[in-house]
Amino acid sequence: MTAPDAGDTEGRSGVLRVGVIGGDGRMGGVLRGLLAEDPRRTCARSFERGDGIDAAGIDVFVEFTDAAAVPTLAQTLRALGRPWVSGTTGLGEAGRQALREAAEHIAVLWSPNMSLGVAVLTRLLGEAARLLPPEWEMELFETHHTAKRDAPSGTALALAEGWTGIRTGELRHGRHGATGPRPQGEVGVHALRLPDVVGEHTIRLGGPKEMLELGHRAFDRAAFAQGALAAASWLSQRKAGLYTMSDWAEDRLRSRGSEA
């Protein structure tokens, strides 16, 4: 565990004091690197695997760890009473329930993808689902590196479920053999794995005589870390509850609208 970076004085000067959980991991290192150059936020503490976690000198926790650790971590952070941004993916029902229970006491923000671009993409897809006629259909392709453990990605599932939550239809994970005609409303979700791909999501919306394509491509994991830090600043001003990056985007839109 690293020592605090003059956390108390920086907190008083308006700099957000971030506690990085999983600081020895791949994303933890990216977060610490960004915070070292950030005039608005500082890495007040970095907690590594096996460290005890406390809230001294910390305004908000940011965490990219392992899905299996989330239920226990949720109990710890709930007791500490600080906002918590979680970028951990692959959560099962136990992990999601732990987030919901923690959010009854503290502000929690979790999304399967922390990038700002995907937050905007999610909103654009929602608008398309509301605006396009019923005969328009959706297919989704996601591509990630060969070491990714889950398929399809959590982001792909969230995007597809965002579409079916507004319209009717069921998800179909790939197709093979004599599948028969595609049922109306079915959403095909296709997972590709290739070397050195950070993350790519492509949505194709097809209607009579035309097609609309929406997508996002991450070139570096720093995109997810940047989004998590933006979320941390936003979450530090929120009351207890469970939030997503879509809530961040919606609030940004309202703020811009009030400034117009």
Query: Which entry of 105, 148, 173, 190 is annotated as an active-site residue?
Result: 148
Q: Which long-range contacts link 181-184 to residues 24+ away (Cβ below 8 Å)?
A: 182/137, 184/135, 184/137
Q: Please state, in angstroms and rounded to a whole number, the distance separating the CA atoms of residues 227 and 83.
A: 16
26 appears as a binding residue in the annotation: yes
Cβ pair 144, 193 in contact under 8 A = yes
Is 66 annotated as a binding-site member? no
Rg of the chain over Cα atoms, rounded to whole angstroms, equals 20
Q: Can 190 be counted among the known catalytic residues?
A: no
24 is in an annotated binding site: yes
Please check if 88 is assigned to a binding site.
yes
Question: Is 113 a known ligand-binding residue?
Answer: yes
Q: Identify whether the C-beta of residue 229 lies closer than 8 Å to the C-beta of residue 90.
A: no
Residues 115 and 234: their CA atoms lie apart, in Å, by 14
The pairing of strands 16-21 and 60-63 is: parallel
7 labeled part of a ligand binding site: no
Annotated active-site residue in 144, 173, 201, 239? 144
199 annotated to a ligand binding site: no
> Which residues have a Cβ under 8 Å from the Cβ of 66 and sit 6 or more positions away?
88
22 marked ligand binding residue: yes
Q: How big is the chain, counted in residues?
A: 260
28 labelled as ligand-binding? no
SS3 state at 113:
coil
Q: Is 216 a catalytic residue?
A: no
Residue 165 is assigned to a ligand binding site: no
155 assigned binding-site residue: yes
Q: Can you give 20-89 as a three-state secondary structure string?
A: EECCCCHHHHHHHHHHHCCCCEEEEEEECCCCCCCCCCCCEEEECCCHHHHHHHHHHHHHHCCCEEECCC
**Annotated binding-site residue? 87:** yes
Q: Is 207 annotated as a binding residue?
A: no
Q: Which residues are annotated as part of the binding site for (S)-2,3,4,5-tetrahydrodipicolinate?
A: 145, 154-155
Q: Which residues are annotated as part of the binding site for NADP(+)?
A: 49
Q: Which residues are annotated as part of the binding site?
A: 22-27, 49, 87-89, 111-114, 145, 154-155
Enumerate the active-site residues.
144, 148
Q: Which residues are annotated as part of the binding site for NAD(+)?
A: 22-27, 87-89, 111-114
